[in-house]
Amino acid sequence: SEAIDFCRYYATTGSDRLDGGIDAGLEVSGRGVVVVVGPWNFPYAIPTGGVAGALAAGNSVILKPAPEATAVGAWIADQFWRAGVPHDVLQLVVCEDGPVGTHLVTHRDVDTIVLTGAHETASMFLDWRPDLRVLAETSGKDALVITPSADVDEAIRDLVRSAFGHAGQKCSAASLGIVVAEVYDDPTFRRRLRDAVTSLRVGAATDPGSMVGPLIAPPTGKLERALTTLDDGESWLVEPVLLDTPGTPEGTSWSPGVRLGVREGSWFHLTECFGPVLGLMRADDLDHAIALQNAGDLGLTGGIHSLDDDEVEQWLARVEVGNAYVNRHITGAIVERQPFGGWKRSSVGGGSKAGGPGYVTQLARVSGDPVDDDPRRRTAFEQVWADWYSVDHDPTGLVAEANILRHVPLGSVVARVSSTDDRQVDLLRTVAAVTGVRFAVSLVTDESDLDFARRLATMAKRPDRVRLLASLDDDARRILHEADIVIDVDPPVGDAMIELGHWVKEQAISRTRHRHGRLLT
């Protein structure tokens, strides 16, 4: 159903911005060859979405499914071919993640990689070929905050669902429960949580009664440590056990585990483990809980359970996640309702969220706009900023659940240019003034590529993005990639809806608006 949603959305609403650009006289075309590198944990919906978005933008696509999910990848390709997509427009490449995969990713004819996987994988791709466009949804270390104002029964239900659905093998899974002291210290809370976790039925994926299925493979590395080894101050509320479950490969069937006493800054607090292990942290108050939630380099999903509206607003104003959930589970994003993608190191490439209104646009090449000195241009940008980017949007309009798309201005943008006497630079200055984003210009004649990159990478407040209007060598690109500074190679355009999308990051907020079926006032 999610794959169908992607195809329908990208063919209609998801293409509206490009249609508007064409109507405004812009040149819109595909970027060339887009490689979609699919994950094994959602092997159907996510690759289908990447393929559909790239095709809608006018590209040729190479689909490379995960080695663990090649049969599903072949099925996806066959469905597109049977629907009429030519074989030379969509091709399927089945290979291991070795030399052949490396050759595919680094091939000079590839313009963009759409990746769902680990942050380390995206960084590796960019190190292999620094001028590559990588749009990646990457890792998550996701937490659900529970305050004394929560409905504790519902909070426990959603924490368990978020942590152990799919055996925890989701980048959006709740790996941490950050519980304010009054609740954490209550022995009845821990007893009820333990009962909920131990009631989960572990079984084969083919058994309809299974609530927690097997792992993709026997655990190694970080996941093995998370399942078997406690750190200082930690104890097991529920100790995970390797089971001998009929119908599952040896070493893959594990009962869920819950670690108590996870300390601030500890290994489990900051490390993605990708399996059925939940850690509980004790927070002094909500401020402390938010600080613990924001502490790491990752910012994919996060949630809060509280019936206090002031607490919820305080949390929403400060939480550093791309997908924020209020009084519900923190997994299971739906196309258009909750466009999906993270902040910080949970996203690479700085693009718009999958399943959202800007996703197809970033996969197209948009140019040809005459950048002139028309004084009406700033007014047009101000109008679009006020009408669209400065206000919350809830396109689905459900009464039982608010699903808001919010645009947050970037902190700062730096343009790397050959000349400041350039109308493109003038346009960027205008847009910076409209958005309130700090803006600076670096001339290639004033500092070398390496000096430029090193300066930005060592700044106390690094810029979020470099708008590249001049060449930049590979070593400088590597430095910027390592510093998590996005390199944006798209030329500035005078269409406000398209250009303003380069100056914001998106946040999707999903908030339950009922209790036990009764709508909240």
Cite the active site residues.
Answer: 137, 171
Q: Encoding tokens for residue 67? A: 């080695």
Q: How far apart are CA 211 and CA 218, in angstroms?
A: 19
Q: Enter the tokens of residue 119.
A: 């942050």
According to DSSP, residue 295 is labeled: S
Using CA atoms, how far apart are residues 342 and 324, in angstroms rounded to an integer? Answer: 10
Q: Give the pairing type, strands 465-468 and 486-488.
A: parallel
SS3 content of the chain, % helix, strand, coil (to 5): 35, 25, 40
Instruction: Report how far residue 464's alpha carbon sits from residue 483's, in angstroms, rounded to the nearest whole number.
Output: 10
3-state secondary structure at position 342 = coil
Question: What's the chain's length in residues?
Answer: 521
Handedness of CA 169, 145, 296, 197 (dihedral sign): negative
Q: Which residues of 354-390 are buried (b: 16+ CB within 10 A; e: fewer)?
A: bbbbbbbbbbbbbeebebeeeeebeeebbebbeebbb
Is the Cα dihedral 365, 369, 373, 374 positive or negative? negative
* CA 99 – CA 427 distance, rounded (Å): 43
Strand 60-64 and strand 90-92: the pairing is: parallel
